[in-house]
């Protein structure tokens, strides 16, 4: 049996055989003596980095990632098993509206899956891309609606792509806007602890002064100290200090109506803030340790050898589609249909996959193949490497392109 995945340790691979993966998913969980569990919904606008963060928390790439929006098409689960604790990560499509869904020819599930995730979550991570200057100072209508519909679910704000933000002092303004100036029930007085010209510094400290009276402090909360130095990636204080911060011990927010949300830019009920760079894996372990500490006593859902509830074929399709999205212009990739022709194991344990990519037009076929077959070769090479990482075996991937 593969050892449980811990921060910095190797997680189990995904089975290459559909039946084997099915058996593993149906296996009775190997419960420890006092099991703990936490179900985490990861929500945010499309392309905020939800799948990248989920993959980093898992320690192996099983969710597709692309710069194009709507790469994640359905809700999938990732499983982190560490000692007596199991984290179940619900990677969801980006929160979108029916108009955008029609424009990208998206399934109905992409509108409902994020809401379904919230119903099953013990904690929600709200991811915001701070490198996007147009959207970083306010939560989208869809995210605010989602949070207001489930006010009882503890929420944590995660500022992603902090490494790309050149002017670090802007983080102060972003934090104030996205939290409405309140974190964990306490008003924040945010002061800059560094000079404006130190914008090139990678990890500037932010000084947060608690402006709330001492009796309102939640025991064990990282916000319960009068002054905290916030480093990139840390919460408002050190994660080792968090006791019941994310446990819903503080009085929950009231239900918000549409008129209340109209004037809101942020959410005043976040229990914690993290700043990280998911793509580079910077400070992801800090968040992971925090999540492990928030787990509650309860039975595991999965055997410790399970990394995801997806079938090997689903992982393969998603990773190939990720590369197609990456290398084809505009709306072209959304019309590609994938058909797996061959999926078999070789004599030495290698996996042979042959997949046909069906496109609606001859011009799309030429684009996908590329001059001298360069584009399709690159897609096959990069997807093959990702599949080797997921399955931990040699993968020989061949792609064919045909007009439907």
Q: Is residue 233 part of a domain?
A: no
pTM, entire model: 0.79
User: What is the CATH number for 375?
Assistant: 3.30.300.20
Q: What is the model's pLDDT at position 96?
A: 44
Q: What is the model's pLDDT at position 387?
A: 96
User: What is the CATH number for 100?
Assistant: 3.40.50.300
Percent of the chain predicted with pLDDT > 70 = 71
- Mean pLDDT of all residues in 90-97: 62
Q: Is residue 156 part of a domain?
A: yes
Based on the domain organization, do 188 and 291 belong to the same domain?
Answer: yes
Q: Is residue 241 part of a domain?
A: no
Q: Is residue 223 part of a domain?
A: no
Based on the domain organization, do 293 and 344 belong to the same domain?
Answer: no
Q: Is residue 237 part of a domain?
A: no
> HEC profile for the chain?
CCCCCCCCCCCCCCCCCHHHHHHHHHCCCCCCCCCEEEEEEEEECCCCCHHHHHHHHHCCCCCCCCCCCCCCCCCEEEEEEECCEEEEEEECCCCCCHHHHHHCCCCCHHHHHHHHHHHHCCEEEEEEECCCCCCCCCCCHHHHHHHHHCCCCCEEEEEECHHHCCCCCHHHHHHHHHHCCEECCEEEEEEECCCHHHCCCCCCCEEEEECCCHHHCCCCCHHHCCEEEECCCCECECHHHCCCCCCCCCCCCCCCCHHHHHCCCCCCCEEEEEECECCCCECHHHHHHHHHHHCEECCCCCCCCCCECCCHHHHHHHHHHHHHHHHCCCCHHHHCEEEEEEEEECCCCCEEEEEEEEECCHHHHHHHHCHHHHHHHHHHHHHHHHHHHHHCCCEEEEEEEEEC
The number of folded domains in the chain is 2
Tens of pLDDT, residue by residue over 18-56, are 999 999 999 899 999 999 999 999 998 888 898 899 999
Tens of pLDDT, residue by residue over 182-218, are 999 898 875 554 444 444 334 444 544 444 333 333 3
Q: Which domain holds residue 269?
A: 18-192+260-297
Q: Is residue 218 part of a domain?
A: no
Based on the domain organization, do 264 and 327 belong to the same domain?
Answer: no
Residue where a domain terminates, one of 269, 297, 325: 297
Based on the domain organization, do 280 and 322 belong to the same domain?
Answer: no
Q: Is residue 265 part of a domain?
A: yes
Based on the domain organization, do 50 and 76 belong to the same domain?
Answer: yes
Based on the domain organization, do 320 and 382 belong to the same domain?
Answer: yes
Tens of pLDDT, residue by residue over 164-187, are 998 888 998 999 999 999 999 898
Based on the domain organization, do 29 and 113 belong to the same domain?
Answer: yes
Based on the domain organization, do 46 and 141 belong to the same domain?
Answer: yes
Q: What is the model's pLDDT at position 191?
A: 59
Candidate from 150-159, 189-198, 309-318 with smallest mean pLDDT? 189-198
């Amino acid at each position: 049996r593969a050892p449980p995945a811990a921060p910095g340790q190797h997680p189990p691979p995904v089975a290459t055989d559909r039946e084997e993966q099915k058996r593993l998913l149906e296996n009775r969980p190997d419960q420890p003596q006092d099991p703990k569990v936490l179900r985490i919904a990861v929500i945010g606008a499309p392309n905020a980095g939800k799948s990248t963060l989920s993959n980093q928390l898992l320690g192996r790439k099983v969710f597709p990632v692309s710069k194009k929006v709507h790469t994640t098409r359905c809700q999938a689960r990732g499983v982190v098993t560490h000692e007596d604790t199991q984290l179940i990560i619900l990677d969801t499509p980006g929160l979108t509206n029916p108009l955008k869904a029609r424009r990208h020819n998206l399934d109905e599930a992409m509108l409902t899956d994020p809401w379904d995730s919230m119903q099953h979550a013990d904690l929600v991570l709200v991811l915001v891309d701070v490198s996007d200057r147009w959207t970083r100072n306010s939560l989208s209508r869809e995210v605010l609606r989602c949070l207001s519909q489930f006010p009882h679910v503890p929420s944590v704000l995660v500022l992603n792509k902090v490494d790309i933000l050149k002017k670090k002092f802007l983080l102060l303004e972003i934090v104030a806007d996205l939290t409405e100036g309140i974190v964990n029930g306490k008003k924040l007085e945010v002061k800059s602890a560094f000079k404006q010209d130190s914008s090139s510094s990678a990890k500037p400290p932010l000084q947060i002064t608690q402006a709330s009276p001492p009796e309102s402090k939640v025991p064990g909360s990282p916000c319960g100290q009068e002054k905290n130095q916030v480093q990139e990636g840390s919460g408002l204080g050190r994660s080792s200090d968090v006791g019941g911060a994310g446990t819903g011990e503080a009085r929950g927010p009231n239900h918000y109506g549409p008129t209340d949300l109209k004037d809101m830019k942020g959410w005043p009920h976040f229990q914690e803030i993290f700043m990280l760079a998911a793509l580079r894996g910077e400070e992801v372990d800090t968040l992971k340790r925090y999540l492990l500490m928030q787990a509650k006593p309860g039975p595991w859902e999965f055997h410790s050898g399970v990394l995801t509830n997806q079938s090997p074929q689903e992982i393969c399709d998603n990773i190939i589609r990720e590369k197609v999205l990456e290398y084809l212009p505009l709306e072209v990739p959304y019309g590609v249909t994938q058909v797996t022709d061959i999926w078999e194991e070789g004599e030495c344990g290698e996996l042979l996959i042959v997949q046909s990519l069906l496109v609606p037009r001859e011009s799309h076929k030429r684009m996908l193949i590329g001059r001298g077959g360069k584009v399709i070769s690159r897609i096959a090479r990069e997807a093959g490497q990702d599949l080797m990482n997921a399955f931990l075996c040699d993968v020989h991937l061949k792609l064919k392109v045909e007009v439907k």
